């Protein structure tokens, strides 16, 4: 009977070992190699560099809070834009904590542009907490504040936002959006022009 049991279990052990090697080692190494060969920028995190210094990623957000920059949406990832703690807040629509935070954020943004409705993405976090984009409406909402802080012509800043809008793929996949790292880098490249 023991011989029959071993004979019956041998194919299971062999298949388990074979698939562990194939799917646990060979397949991941093959995909990593293909990714590095064909898409090295994306496979390494879409890192954005200035010279030799890494300043961010094109696909993971970072907090911008100064009036001189376009600000990001709130993040629930760790202490804010923490890649090791990517997640939403898990606060539901009846959560008092969420309602209080959103109310405070709305009041803060209404002080920036009184009388204008606050774009929702300036007061709500994304599902991952790491979204590097905001809507064009949220960027235009901040344009006058950024222009004042940098003493730039507001039309110049609005034109910079317009040029930074990423359109939906194939014209219909996704939403128009603005990558904040790219927009703020282009903003830093502008020379201050006195407002007349």
196 in a structural domain? no
Write the DSSP assignment of the chain as a string of letters: -HHHHHHHHHHHHHHHHHHHHIIIIIHHHHHHHHHHHH-HHHHTT-EEEETTEEEEESSS-----STTSPPPPP--STTTT-GGG-------TT-HHHHHHHHHHHHHHHHHSTTSPPPGGGTS--SSS---EE-HHHHHHHHHHHHHHHT--HHHHHHHHHHHEEPPBTTTBS--EEEHHHHHHHHHHSPP----
pLDDT, mean of residues 21-47: 94
Judge if 36 and 50 occupy the same domain: no
Instruction: Retrieve residue 110's tokens.
Output: 């209404």
138 with 156, same domain?
yes
Per-residue pLDDT, averaged over 40-63, amounts to: 89
Average pLDDT rounded to a whole number, residues 101-129: 90
Note whether residue 108 is domain-resident.
yes
48 — phi, psi (to 5°)? -105, 130
pLDDT of residue 196: 54
Kind plus residue range of the DSSP H or E element containing 6: helix 2-21
Global pTM reads 0.78
Q: Please tell me whether residues 29 and 122 are part of one structural domain.
A: no
- Residues 62 and 8 occupy one common structural domain: no
Q: Is residue 105 part of a domain?
A: yes
- Mark residue 97 as left, alpha or beta (left: phi above 0; alpha: psi -120 to 50; beta: remaining): alpha
Residue 80 and residue 33 share a domain: no
Is 67 in the same domain as 38? no
Task: Say whether both 7 and 67 belong to one domain.
Answer: no
- Residues 109, 148, single domain; the answer is yes
Is residue 194 in a domain?
A: no
163 and 82 in a single domain? The answer is yes
Contacts (Cβ under 8 Å, ≥6 apart) of 43: 32, 35, 36
Domain membership of residue 50 (yes or no) is yes
Together in a domain, 29 and 54: no
Taking only the tens place, the pLDDT of each residue in 123-179 is 988 878 788 999 999 999 999 999 999 999 999 999 999 999 999 988 889 999 999
Give me the domain span that covers residue 143.
Answer: 45-189
- Tell me how many domains the chain contains: 2
Does residue 68 share a domain with residue 10? no
Q: Are 51 and 34 found together in one domain?
A: no
């Amino acid at each position: 009977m023991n011989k029959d049991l071993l004979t019956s279990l041998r194919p299971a052990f062999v298949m388990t070992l074979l698939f562990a090697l194939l799917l646990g080692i060979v397949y991941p190494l093959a995909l990593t190699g293909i990714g590095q060969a064909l898409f090295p920028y994306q496979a390494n995190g879409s890192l954005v560099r200035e010279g030799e210094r890494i300043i961010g990623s094109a696909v993971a957000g970072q907090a911008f809070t100064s009036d001189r920059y376009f600000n990001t949406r709130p993040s629930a990832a760790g202490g804010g834009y923490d890649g090791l703690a990517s997640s939403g807040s898990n606060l539901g629509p009846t959560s008092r904590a969420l309602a209080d935070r959103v109310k405070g954020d709305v009041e803060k943004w209404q002080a920036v542009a009184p009388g204008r409705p606050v774009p929702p993405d300036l007061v709500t976090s994304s599902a991952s907490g790491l979204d590097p984009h905001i809507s064009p409406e949220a960027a235009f909402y901040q344009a006058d504040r950024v222009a004042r802080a940098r003493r730039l012509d507001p039309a110049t800043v609005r034109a910079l936002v317009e040029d930074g809008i990423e359109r939906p793929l194939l014209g219909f996949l996704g939403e128009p959006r603005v990558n904040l790292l790219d927009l703020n880098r282009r903003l830093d490249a502008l020379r201050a022009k006195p407002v007349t």
